[in-house]
Structure 1
Amino acid sequence: MSTFTASFIYAQADDENDVLMIGFADDQYEPQEYILLQKTLHPDEQDLALGFDKIHITYNDESQSQYGGIEKVLLKPDSIEISLDEEAVEALDCEEAVVRVNFDPGALKLEERRELFEQMFGELLEIDVEAGLA
């Protein structure tokens, strides 16, 4: 499992640019380790044909990115685990098929951001029931 700790979490829907973004980074201004997830809010026919309706994931560098490849997302009070398919592991240059991001439990603000996480991940999202987040 590839793991890092995020001190900065970003989640916002940008209606003007028609994109939903969720990001986790070790630093807000000069990140060394990060995951940025983006998804078109209203994909058109061309987006669908090209696969741009899928989640775009970037891991630590723009050269390590792709559309799709996320198999499952497990959200816990102090971490998120993103399970990737084999193609994504290679494209993102990950050590393992699961990327885990640890964070301060208060930083997630799931109550405020829950809808954004559900909109981003849909059926791929599993929220840890035992943690009282369900």
Structure 2
Amino acid sequence: MKSDFTVSCVSVDEIEDEKGIAVWLADADPVEVDYLTFQRALEPDEQSVRLGLNRVYAERNDQGFSGYGGIESVSLFRDHLEVHFNGKGSKFMGGLSTMKVSFELDAAAFQKLREGLAVCFDGLGKYHDGADF
């Protein structure tokens, strides 16, 4: 799995049944899709908290490279996103400790990504917005 890749599509969706949010960054190529997604329940129940499912879930290209927690930091810039994983995250990401996702997004798509990440990581102290307009 590559640590650096480029995407052309961004999607931010509400997860109705979990009262949560999902942020997707994906390549448009339907044959070899590179993607990274973050998901978080915004109103986790007691069982989710007890099981650690109240943390941000990250997935890279396959559920085999996914897990809850494990994110050290996420930094957004106008042309890329940098993700740093702690030891737990590195383990579920196949040994990767950092990831860079490059993109060329129009202003509306970039703003959608910016807002989605802010909601997904709200209150965790892990999201840093370094984008300048």
Query: TM-score, length-normalised on structure 2?
Result: 0.85
Q: CA deviation at 1:32?
A: 2.5
Alpha carbons of 1:38 and 1:87: their partners in 2 closer, same or farther (altered >3 Å)? same
Aligned length: 130
Higher mean displacement: 15-24 or 39-48 = 15-24
- Once residues 108 and 2 of structure 1 are traced to their aligned partners in structure 2, the CA distance between those partners, rounded to angstroms, is 26
Structure 2: stretches of 5+ with no match in the other structure: none
| TM-align CA RMSD | 2.1
More helix, by proportion:
1
Alpha carbons of 1:14 and 1:32: their partners in 2 closer, same or farther (altered >3 Å)? same
Q: CA deviation at 1:27?
A: 2.0
Instruction: Report % sequence identity.
Output: 25
- Once residues 110 and 5 of structure 2 are traced to their aligned partners in structure 1, the CA distance between those partners, rounded to angstroms, is 20
> Residue 86 of structure 1 aligns with which residue?
87
Alpha carbons of 1:64 and 1:104: their partners in 2 closer, same or farther (altered >3 Å)? same
Contact 2:76 2:114 in 1 (8 A): no
The DSSP-based 3-state class of the residue aligned with 2:33 is coil
Q: Which runs of 4+ in 1 moved over 4 A?
A: 28-31
Query: TM-score, length-normalised on structure 1?
Result: 0.84
> Residue 111 of structure 1 aligns with which residue?
111
Contact 1:8 1:28 in 2 (8 A): no
Structure 1: stretches of 5+ with no match in the other structure: none
Alpha carbons of 1:8 and 1:113: their partners in 2 closer, same or farther (altered >3 Å)? closer
The DSSP-based 3-state class of the residue aligned with 1:109 is helix
Cα displacement string for residues 63-116 of structure 1 (whole angstroms, at most 9, x for unaligned residues): 11100000111000111111101221121114x311110000416634345432
Contact 2:5 2:102 in 1 (8 A): yes
Q: CA deviation at 1:39?
A: 0.6
> Residue 128 of structure 2 aligns with which residue?
126
Contact 1:25 1:31 in 2 (8 A): no
Alpha carbons of 1:64 and 1:111: their partners in 2 closer, same or farther (altered >3 Å)? closer
> Residue 44 of structure 1 aligns with which residue?
45
Alpha carbons of 1:71 and 1:29: their partners in 2 closer, same or farther (altered >3 Å)? same
Q: CA deviation at 1:19?
A: 2.3
- Once residues 28 and 20 of structure 1 are traced to their aligned partners in structure 2, the CA distance between those partners, rounded to angstroms, is 24
Q: CA deviation at 1:50?
A: 0.4
Contact 2:23 2:113 in 1 (8 A): no
- Once residues 12 and 31 of structure 1 are traced to their aligned partners in structure 2, the CA distance between those partners, rounded to angstroms, is 23
